[in-house]
Amino acid sequence: MGSLGASATSVSAVLVGCVSALALLMIHTYLAPMHLEEQRYIGVLFLVASVLLAGVAVCLVIPAAQLLAWWSGAAVCVGMALGYVASRTVGLPNGYQETWRDTWGTTCLVLEAVYLLALALWLRGHGAYGRQDQSPRQQGRVSSPL
C-alpha cells in the first residue's frame, strides 16, 4: 500500500478508535449513577473507565501519544469486556451478578471489539512500535543514484 493509502487507513483507524472510545465513555458515564446506587465499587469502576476513555480519545489524535493511547484503550476495553462476562457468569465481589439481557452491555462489547479492530488496522500501518511504515528509500535500503 502506498504512503497515501497507509495514511488514509491510519486516519480512518484513529477516527473509528476515537468514536468507539467516546461512545463507550458516554454509555459508562450514563450508567455510572445507577451502578453507584446498586453496588458502589461497580459505579466507581464505570467512572474510572470513563475518565480513562476520555484520555484515550484525546490522546489518539496526538501523534506522539497515539501508541500509548491505543494500548491503554485496548487494556480498558479488554478489562471492561472481561468484567462484563464475569458479572454474568461467575459473578463479581459482594454477590454482584447480572443477566445477559442487557442491551447496553452488548452494545459495549461490540464497541470494544470495534476499538480493537481499529487498533489492529492502525498497527498494520505502524507496526508494534507505532512507527509509520516507510518506503524502502525512507528506510535507507535503496541507495540514491547520486
pLDDT, tens digit, 9 for 90 and up, residues 34-82: 999 999 999 999 999 999 999 999 999 999 999 999 999 999 999 999 9
Per-residue pLDDT band for 31 (boundaries 50, 70, 90) equals very high
How far are the Cα atoms of 131, 134, 135, 140 from residue 143, in angstroms, in the given order? 22, 15, 12, 7
| Helix or strand (DSSP H, E) at 90 | none
Question: Exposure string (b/e) for 23-36, b if CB count within 10 Å is 16 or more?
Answer: bbbebbbebbeebe
Nearest Cα to 132, choosing from 4, 19, 44? 4
Per-residue pLDDT band for 137 (boundaries 50, 70, 90) equals very low
Q: SS3 for 92?
A: strand
- Rounded to two decimals, the pTM is 0.83
